[in-house]
Amino acid sequence: MGHKYCGVVVEVGGAVKTVRPGQFVVGSFCLSDNTCPHCKFGFQSSCVQREFMRGAQAPYARVPLADGTLVATADMPGDDLVPHLLATSEVLGTGWYAADAANVRPGSAVAVVGDGAVGLMGVLAAKEMCAERIIAMSRHKSRQALAREFGATDVVAERGAAGIERVKELTGGVGVDSVLECVGTQESMTQAINSVRPGGSIGYVGVPHGVTFDGQAMFFSQRRMMGGPAPVRRFLPDLMDRVLTGRIKPGKVFDLTLPIAEVAEGYRAMDERRAIKTMLKV
């Protein structure tokens, strides 16, 4: 889709006031004016002028609503920082929103369902939010290792009922305080709902595919749910600062870098699980 992007501004429209040519900028995949009531409430992904960024897998990209969408760095970052800043544009911002929506708090127990780039960023976010126990649900050794590097205290390879039971075992039969659902299937959502304790919260950012709920079961389970497209623009300044000060290195999820002409190979590598996330360079 081409909606993760960062780069140098080469030209601005006449109405643009907050960015200028020559600046390095990062933008959200949800384009927003950052001034409407929903934006001011922190949900730029529901902006009244919302559009979804497309076409960023190209030498140049046009960004509508630039004033409300783009965040510029004070100085030109070094090449070593670019992958980490690119991660803030979507995968980190989405993982961070999952943790925020799941009400992750210092000292809490968290489970992350999904070991793709967003799930791994959810692990990093939970660590940054000072969760005490972070359970990464993953079957892939390379992703398990990265999850532990990002802060996971436990890894659960089981899925379905076995995965739920393992989470319960790790939490003394209680369940976790927060679950980050980063897949979007019926199985992953069921696992999330049944792994969290009564009164706990589920932050779901995996786009749902065929997911249904039993209303009466949800009523009596007493679990909170919040999700949807991530309002990345809300978090961008803070996340970019964490990258620029060297506190976090989210760009480690980009384990394959290719020239933009080889974009198809990048998608094949991710589909075949040869790469977590591909970064394209112009």
Give mean pLDDT, residues 102-113.
98
Q: Please name each of the domains of the chain with its CATH number.
A: 5-90+231-281 (3.90.180.10), 95-227 (3.40.50.720)
Strands 196-204 and 224-227: parallel
Residue 129 has pLDDT above 80, yes or no: yes
Helix-, strand-, coil-residue percentages of the chain, each rounded to 5: 40, 20, 40
Q: Supply the pLDDT for residue 1.
A: 44
Q: What is the pTM of this model?
A: 0.96
Give mean pLDDT, residues 188-201.
96
Give how far Cα 35 sits from Cα of 65, 94, 165, 228, Å: 11, 21, 45, 20
Residue 192 CA to residue 207 CA, distance in Å, equals 14
What secondary structure letter does DSSP report for 210? S
Residue 148's nearest CA partner among 131, 164, 134, 163 is 134
Q: Supply the pLDDT for residue 96.
A: 98
Q: Supply the pLDDT for residue 112.
A: 98
pLDDT tens track for 138-156: 999 999 999 999 999 999 9
Give mean pLDDT, residues 123-150.
97
Confidence of residue 2 (pLDDT cuts 50, 70, 90): low
Residue 36's nearest CA partner among 46, 24, 28 is 46
Instruction: Quickly list H helices, the chain.
Output: 37-40, 66-69, 82-89, 91-101, 117-128, 141-150, 160-170, 186-195, 215-221, 232-244, 263-271
Confidence of residue 247 (pLDDT cuts 50, 70, 90): very high
pLDDT tens track for 6-51: 999 999 999 999 999 999 999 999 999 999 999 999 999 999 999 9
Taken in order 162, 274, 111, 101, the sign of the CA dihedral is: negative
Residue 282 has pLDDT above 90, yes or no: no
User: Nearest 5°: CA angle at 195, between 189 and 196?
Assistant: 100
Name the average pLDDT for the chain.
96
Give how far Cα 151 sits from Cα of 5, 111, 136, Å: 26, 12, 9
Taken in order 30, 31, 34, 39, the sign of the CA dihedral is: negative
**Other Cβ atoms within 10 Å of 49 Cβ, number:** 15
Give how far Cα 267 sits from Cα of 147, 183, 186, 205, 252, Å: 22, 18, 24, 21, 18
Residue 266 CA to residue 280 CA, distance in Å, equals 8
